[in-house]
Every structure is written in structure tokens, then in C-alpha cells.
């Protein structure tokens, strides 16, 4: 495993623990307090913080992508931004699944690896006629994947250039 892959793995591990803990707390609050309470009391603060982190990460990442020496950090910043955006999407989907589908379907979505709340929320919002909410979820997922792919593209682009620069011609 090369240094950049190790860096991405470390970043992933570093970001998964706090987001996992926050997700666990959000699940407990959704089940015991209800989706409406979570929507009114937790989501405004959480979304403001997470979307601020996303925007900051994108701006910082784009600035760091300009000089060649800092492109690695810019790529990691874009990947980190995608984590914040994906968590925002997951939290929004958790709330929408609880409100529109109920506790049983929320638990089904959680049993599907936790990420199952997103398709449950999409289906429930479409059934309830909330197409704007469903389109918002799809848009956040799309932007998150674009950020993640862009980050991986710049990391792999750096790998290709590094490999070609490491090549030395044999002495004849």
C-alpha cells in the first residue's frame, strides 16, 4: 500500500469514528424523541455545522489543488468534505425515514448497514408526494460522489505523475 492510499485509509478511519458516534446518538434520538423533535432541535445545528465544514473543505481543497506541492492535501480535503456531506445526507434521510415511513422502516434501513435509511427515505418521500425532498437527497448524494471521485482522481493523478518521475533510465 502506498503512502497516499494509507493517507486515505487514515482519513477515512479518522472521520468514521466521530460520524459513527454522532449517527448512533441521532438514531437513539430519532427512535425515542421522534423525527419531528430531531428535525426541530438537532438538524438545524448539525446541518449548519456539517455544511459549513463541507463548503470550507471544498474551498480549501480547490485552493490547495492549484500548487503541485499541495495537491495531495487538496484531494484529501475534497474527500473529507464528501464525508461531511454524506453524513448530512444520512442524517436528513434518517429524519425523513422516521417521519414518513415510521420506526419499523427506520429500523429496517438501519439493519441494511445503516445506509439503508437513504433508500427508505427516498421511497417514503416519493410515496408521500414529497418529490422536492427526494430530489434534495439525490442532489446531496450526487454532489458527495462528485467530491469523492474528484478527490480520488487527484490522488491517483499524483500517483501517476510520481511513478513517472521515479523512473530512472538505466546506465548504458
- Most confident segment among 12-16, 18-22, 79-83: 79-83
**What pLDDT shows up at residue 12?**
66
More confident position, 167 or 91 = 91
pLDDT confidence tier of residue 61, bands split at 50, 70 and 90: very high
* pTM for the predicted model, two decimal places: 0.79
pLDDT confidence tier of residue 167, bands split at 50, 70 and 90: very low
pLDDT tens for each residue of 87-122: 899 999 999 999 999 999 989 998 888 889 999 999
Mean per-residue pLDDT of the chain = 83
What is the helix (H) or strand (E) element at residue 62, kind and residue range? helix 43-64
Kindly state the percentage of the chain with pLDDT values over 90: 39
More confident position, 58 or 27 = 58
Residue ranges of domains in the chain: 3-159
**What pLDDT shows up at residue 159?**
54
CA 154 → CA 66, 72, 73, 159, distances in Å? Answer: 11, 7, 10, 9
Q: Where does residue 168 rank: exposed (0-12), middle (13-18), buried (19+ CB within 10 A)?
A: exposed
N-term to C-term CA, the chain: 32
Kindly state the percentage of the chain with pLDDT values over 70: 81
> How far apart, in whole angstroms, are the C-alpha atoms of residue 59 and residue 65?
10
pLDDT tens for each residue of 140-149: 999 999 999 9
Averaged pLDDT for residues 66-90:
89
Amino acid at each position: 500500500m502506498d503512502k497516499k492510499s494509507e493517507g486515505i485509509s487514515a482519513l477515512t478511519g479518522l472521520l468514521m469514528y466521530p460520524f459513527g458516534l454522532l449517527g448512533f446518538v441521532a438514531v437513539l434520538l430519532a427512535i425515542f424523541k421522534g423525527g419531528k423533535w430531531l428535525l426541530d432541535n438537532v438538524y438545524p445545528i448539525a446541518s449548519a455545522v456539517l455544511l459549513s465544514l463541507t463548503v470550507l473543505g471544498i474551498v480549501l481543497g480547490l485552493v490547495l489543488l492549484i500548487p503541485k506541492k499541495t495537491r495531495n492535501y487538496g484531494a484529501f480535503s475534497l474527500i473529507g468534505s464528501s464525508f461531511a456531506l454524506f453524513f448530512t445526507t444520512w442524517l436528513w434521510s434518517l429524519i425523513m425515514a422516521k417521519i414518513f415511513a415510521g420506526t419499523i422502516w427506520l429500523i429496517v434501513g438501519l439493519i441494511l448497514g445503516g445506509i439503508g435509511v437513504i433508500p427508505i427515505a427516498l421511497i417514503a418521500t416519493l410515496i408521500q408526494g414529497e418529490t422536492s425532498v427526494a430530489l434534495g437527497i439525490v442532489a446531496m448524494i450526487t454532489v458527495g460522489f462528485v467530491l469523492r471521485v474528484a478527490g480520488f482522481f487527484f490522488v491517483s493523478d499524483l500517483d501517476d505523475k510520481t511513478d513517472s518521475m521515479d523512473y530512472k533510465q538505466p546506465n548504458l
